[in-house]
Amino acid sequence: MKRNNAKGSGTGKKVQNKLPIAIQGYEGSFHQVAARIFFGKDVAILPCASFVDLIREASNKKKTGGGVMAIENSIAGSIMPNYNLIQKSKLFVAGEVYLQINQNLLVNPGVQLGDIKEVHSHPMALQQCLGYLTKFQWKLIETDDTALSARHIHQRKSKHIAAIASDLAAELFDLHMIAPKIHDVKDNYTRFLILQQHEEVVADANKASINFHTDHAQGSLAKVLTVIAKEGVNLSKLQSFPIAGSRFNYGFHADLEFDHADQFNHVMEKINHVTKYLKVLGVYKKGKFNI
């Protein structure tokens, strides 16, 4: 069993790191936007091709000051593999960012809608914008990354190719936002977790992420949920996932919201008695929705 005390976990401040922050994706990605929101506009980033690479680089104290990782989306739901990656790492959840995902049609300066023949972007971004894209006879080309698509049309100075990417990509690659916010579902948010290599004290912490296993007896999960409810703690997230090497046994990731650290510590003491395994992944300040 692994236990952390709320007084020694998380961070409620935007820490300025000398080392870069590992992100998934390329320069101009939504991960970089989230990193800027939490750490400030001048934060340096280390782009990673995959989430596995992100965790490895974020854990390297000589190369980075931590990482920023997407964990769930308001439309697509949880990114299941990322829960396991965090659980197996030695990183701590030190904060969160809720970012509204605005997909924009970007072109090189001077290009008009009538000049466009192809639109390049990640398959998910193309899917999110089909309502707009199907109004035109454009060829849709799937790529590995939204920001990478934007960088490519900038580098090639293309007059007939557009990209779907973030506002930041338009800024970084000097592209014209010929059609902003073309995604079909306007209220689309992604939640990013801030991962750090050390626990830090947070005076105003009001949220925590934990992982626990029960003994899988009848009513064992209900006992945990009853404790949380009786103590006045809000269960804002409960995600089950299979325990590797077991026969269909499941562990649980939970996000808890509370008024003060003592309240959280008290509920953790009670949960400890009704769980088989308990680990505090991080105690931090609840994030706000960024538009």
One fold for 6-101+188-196 and 104-179: yes
Rounded Cα–Cα distance for residues 158 and 57 (Å):
34
Rounded Cα–Cα distance for residues 225 and 194 (Å):
26
What fold is seen in the domain 104-179?
A: D-Maltodextrin-Binding Protein; domain 2 (3.40.190)
- pLDDT tens per residue, range 22-69: 999 999 999 999 999 999 999 999 999 999 999 999 999 999 999 999
- Identify any residues that bridge with 78 across adjacent strands, giving them in sequence order: 72
* Alpha helices in the chain, H assignment, sequence order: 30-39, 51-58, 80-88, 123-128, 130-133, 146-156, 167-172, 220-230, 261-272
Where does 6-101+188-196 sit in CATH, by number? Answer: 3.40.190.10
- pLDDT tens per residue, range 238-247: 999 888 888 8
- pLDDT tens per residue, range 61-82: 999 999 999 999 998 899 999 9
Exposure letters 146-184 (e unless 16+ CB within 10 A, then b): bbbbbbbbbeeebeebbbbbbbbbbebbebbbbbeebbe
Answer yes or no: are the C-beta atoms of 11 and 204 closer than 8 Å: no
- Dihedral angle, C-alpha 25, 31, 32, 38, nearest 10 °: -150
Mean pLDDT computed over 166-178: 98
Per 3-state DSSP, the chain is made up of helix, strand and coil in percentages (nearest 5) of 30, 30, 40
What fold is seen in the domain 207-283?
A: Alpha-Beta Plaits (3.30.70)
DSSP state, 12? Answer: -
Q: Is the overall model pTM greater than 0.75, yes or no?
A: yes
Place of tokens 């809720």: 98
Q: Supply φ then ψ for residue 254, to 5 degrees.
A: -135, 140
Residue spans of the domains in the chain: they are: 6-101+188-196, 104-179, 207-283
Rounded Cα–Cα distance for residues 199 and 19 (Å):
17
